[in-house]
Chain A
Amino acid sequence: MSGAAPTIEVERLVAHYGQREVLRGVDLTVAEGEIMVIMGGSGSGKSTLLNHLLGLLRPTSGTVRLLGHDINRLPALELLDLRRRIGVAFQSGALFSSLTVAENIMLPLREHTDLDEKTMAIIARLKLEVVSLSGFGALMPSELSGGMIKRAALARAIVMDPKLLFCDEPTAGLDPVVSSSIDELILRLRDAMGMTTVVVTHDLDSAFRIADRICVLEDGRIIAMGGKEEIRGSRNGRVQNLLNRRSEEVTLDPEAYLRRLIGEG
């Protein structure tokens, strides 16, 4: 790691949904050019953490600094400017269903740059080429398969050549061949453009293929963080459960169980 300031700095992040505490003091730093994978089971808080990193939710306390700016203190207009340097590929793709694939990819260019139509079309085709979707620009998102939507979303995320890329479950629900091609893509983007990348996933194979470091989240806390080997060698039982796909062993309290069943729990 270089001595430069980290691209992402999260300090003591605490967040609630209503009364329920979802993040219980998360500390996380991601260095420039690093690929950080955030792993965790369902309900571990990883999606909430991602939404906080994106500035879509406001934390109860703690700070999130992206590219050196505290996103919860930044004036609205500067935040809009900061967001031009950040790309996000959502889990569902979140492509605009009323626009073609190419128009989707061109939207950030159209809104943020003064490029002429022809240049934008070339850039869009270039990015489609990068994600191996050349020739699909004229289709509507509803005409694409799941894997193609994810790749198109990735193309849109990188169209402004961001310094920082977030991917939410880029390989979830895809067949192994397509998911490994998306992993390759994320690695290539980092190598070619030096992007700092944060990937949220529960796909183990994918996580270990692309990660420089892995952070394992459980019940709103980080329970392990480190390189692939460190995570593999972790002594933490819950980390091992996640790695070996074992279900959590829950000790059953028969009385509490009965009370739950009759609705008094």
Chain B
Amino acid sequence: MAAENPAVRLVEKVGRGTVRALDEIGFAAVLMAESLYWLVAGRRKRQPVRVAAVFQQAREIGVDALPILSVLSFTIGVMLAIQGIYTLKAFGAESRVATGIALSVVREFSSLITGVLVAGRSGSALAARLGTMKINQEIDALTVMGIEPVRYLVAPPLVAMVVVVPALTMWAHLVALFGAGLYVTGELQISFGAYVSQVIEALRLADLAHGLAKSGIFAVLITLVGVVNGALVSGGAEGVGRITTRSVVHAISAIVITDMIFAFAVTR
């Protein structure tokens, strides 16, 4: 029964939205648990997670993303160098810019830009693929063939993401720092070797771990958001379009919010 009172309607809407969100989070947790179960126990139960499927996913998520990721991280590196020098000029401290760039890239920007890129490229593709399969009864077909859909469709991309996203983040570190270095050495008239040693001096292992740990979490978030949206599709081809958009928006929001929480919890 729809209430007449707008205030009551608003409360009802918020309530329904909350229930739905909790429902989806619960579903994501179940998918995660089942994927881990099949990864560990699959071979004994004659439902193995195929290595070939993981590699194929890893190629699609990782290798195919390298060109665009390189362009983006290079650009981010140059951008950070420009802004860093501009900011530090106010204090006459532009010679310390390498420290700022190194920490920003390694702790924050690489994992964030990689996460956003993978969410846009592969999270959405995952949602669209699962959504289309659901609509074409392909997931039913897997079930009735005795092929467990979670182990066949969810576990391989989950493993691939968790391995590949941190690896991509490492690559983004290198490219972004290289791009920043090109600008800094030109602008400040220092040698590239001096820049590199400043960067290495600025970084501790903990900074690297901070960025990589985050990217691992992002990988799980992107996969789960993609598969949950794909599995909950309804309404034909239009529905697939809707959940694809929804999964990108959700994944990027989840990444940004998690990033903040992680930084807050770990850095202080």
Which residues on the A side are within 8 Å of B140 (C-beta)?
54, 56, 90, 94
Q: Does A80 contact B (CB under 8 A)?
A: yes
A contact patch SS: mixed
Q: Does B144 contact A (CB under 8 A)?
A: yes
Question: Considering only CB atoms, which chain A residue lies closest to B145 in the complex?
Answer: A108
Q: A77-B45, A90-B141, A94-B141 in contact; A84/B146 too (CB < 8 A)?
A: yes
Query: Which of B129, B132, B144, B152 is close to A83, meaning CB atoms less than 8 Å apart?
Result: B144
Which residues on the A side are within 8 Å of B133 (C-beta)?
96
Is B146's CB under 8 angstroms from A83's CB?
A: yes
Which residues on the B side are within 8 Å of A56 (C-beta)?
140, 143-144
B residues 5-57 in Cβ contact with A at 8 Å: 45-47
Q: Nearest-CB distance from B28 to chain A (Å)?
A: 20
Question: Chain B 138-171, CB within 8 Å of chain A: the 1/0 string?
Answer: 1011011111100010000000000000000000
Is A97's CB under 8 angstroms from B143's CB?
A: no
Q: Nearest-CB distance from A54 to chain B (Å)?
A: 5
Is A96's CB under 8 angstroms from B145's CB?
A: no
Q: Does A107 contact B (CB under 8 A)?
A: yes
Q: Does B87 contact A (CB under 8 A)?
A: no
Q: A94-B137, A94-B138, A97-B138 in contact; A86/B132 too (CB < 8 A)?
A: no
Cα distance A107–B129 in the bound complex, in angstroms: 18
Q: Does A111 contact B (CB under 8 A)?
A: yes
Cα distance A96–B132 in the bound complex, in angstroms: 10
Query: Which of B138, B141, B148, B152 is close to A88, meaning CB atoms less than 8 Å apart?
Result: B141
Question: Considering only CB atoms, which chain B residue lies closest to A160 in the complex?
Answer: B145
Q: Does A81 contact B (CB under 8 A)?
A: yes
Q: Does A241 contact B (CB under 8 A)?
A: no
Q: Does B191 contact A (CB under 8 A)?
A: no
Most chain B CB inside 10 Å of its own CB: which residue of A54, A56, A107, A111: A111
Cα distance A92–B145 in the bound complex, in angstroms: 16
Is B147's CB under 8 angstroms from A111's CB?
A: yes
Q: Nearest-CB distance from B51 to chain A (Å)?
A: 13
Q: Does B136 contact A (CB under 8 A)?
A: yes
Cα distance A111–B145 in the bound complex, in angstroms: 9
Chain B: residues with Cβ within 8 Å of the partner, total of 18
A residues 170-203 in Cβ contact with B at 8 Å: none
Q: Nearest-CB distance from B179 to chain A (Å)?
A: 36
Cα distance A56–B143 in the bound complex, in angstroms: 8
Question: Considering only CB atoms, which chain A residue lies closest to B141 in the complex?
Answer: A94
Which residues on the B side are within 8 Å of A92 (C-beta)?
136-137
Query: Which of A80, A95, A96, A108 is close to B47, meaning CB atoms less than 8 Å apart?
Result: A80
Q: A56-B143, A97-B132 in contact; A80/B148 too (CB < 8 A)?
A: yes
Query: Which of A81, A90, A97 is close to B146, meaning CB atoms less than 8 Å apart?
Result: A81
Q: Nearest-CB distance from B141 to chain A (Å)?
A: 4
Query: Which of B132, B137, B141, B146 is close to A112, meaning CB atoms less than 8 Å apart?
Result: B146
Is B136's CB under 8 angstroms from A94's CB?
A: yes
Cα distance A247–B47 in the bound complex, in angstroms: 49
Question: Chain A 92-118, CB within 8 Å of chain B: the 1/0 string?
Answer: 101111100000000110011000000
Which residues on the B side are within 8 Å of A88 (C-beta)?
141, 144-145
Cα distance A260–B143 in the bound complex, in angstroms: 42
Q: Nearest-CB distance from B77 to chain A (Å)?
A: 36
Q: Nearest-CB distance from A169 to chain B (Å)?
A: 12
Cα distance A166–B143 in the bound complex, in angstroms: 14
Which residues on the B side are within 8 Å of A98 (C-beta)?
129
Cα distance A28–B126 in the bound complex, in angstroms: 40
Cα distance A194–B208 in the bound complex, in angstroms: 64
Question: Considering only CB atoms, which chain A residue lies closest to B148 in the complex?
Answer: A80
Q: A77-B45, A97-B132 in contact; A83/B145 too (CB < 8 A)?
A: yes
- 10 closest A-B pairs by beta carbon, nearest first, are A83-B146, A94-B141, A94-B137, A88-B144, A80-B146, A84-B146, A90-B137, A94-B138, A108-B145, A111-B147
8 A-B interface contacts by CB (under 8 A) = A56-B140, A80-B146, A88-B144, A96-B141, A97-B138, A107-B147, A111-B147, A112-B146
A sample of 7 more A-B contacts (CB under 8 A), given A54-B144, A56-B144, A84-B145, is A55-B144, A80-B148, A84-B146, A91-B137, A96-B133, A107-B145, A108-B145
